[in-house]
Amino acid sequence: MIGFVFPGQGTVRIGMGGWLRRDPAGAAVLARADELLPEPVSELCARGPLDKLVDTAHAQPAVTACNLAALAVLGGRGVEPDIVAGHSVGEISALCAAGVLDVDTALRLVADRARLMADLPDTGGMTAVLGLTPQRVEELSAEAARPGEPLVVGLENAPDHTVVSGATGAVDRLVALATAAGARKVVALKVSNAFHSPLMAGALDGWAEAVRATPMRPPRVPVVPNATAEPTTDLPTIVDALIAQLTARVRWTETMRVLADAETLVEVGDSKVLAGLLRGVGARCVSMADPAAVRRLRRPEPAA
Contact indicator for 33, 71 with CB cutoff of 8 Å: no
d(CA 159, CA 300): 30
Catalytic residue among 58, 196, 197, 271: 196
Helices (H), the chain: 24-36, 42-47, 50-53, 56-76, 90-97, 103-118, 134-144, 168-180, 204-212, 235-244, 252-259, 273-279, 291-296
CB burial of residue 198 (10 Å; 0-12, 13-18, 19+): middle
Catalytic residue among 42, 88, 165, 197: 88
Sign of torsion over alpha carbons 3, 24, 273, 9: negative
Confirm whether 42 is a catalytic residue: no
Alpha-carbon Rg for the chain in angstroms: 18
Query: Which amino acid is residue 231, in one-letter code?
Result: P
Instruction: Name the helix (H) or strand (E) containing 15.
Output: none
End-to-end CA separation in angstroms for the chain: 15
DSSP, res 20: G
CB atoms within 10 A of CB 149: 18
Catalytic residues: 88, 196
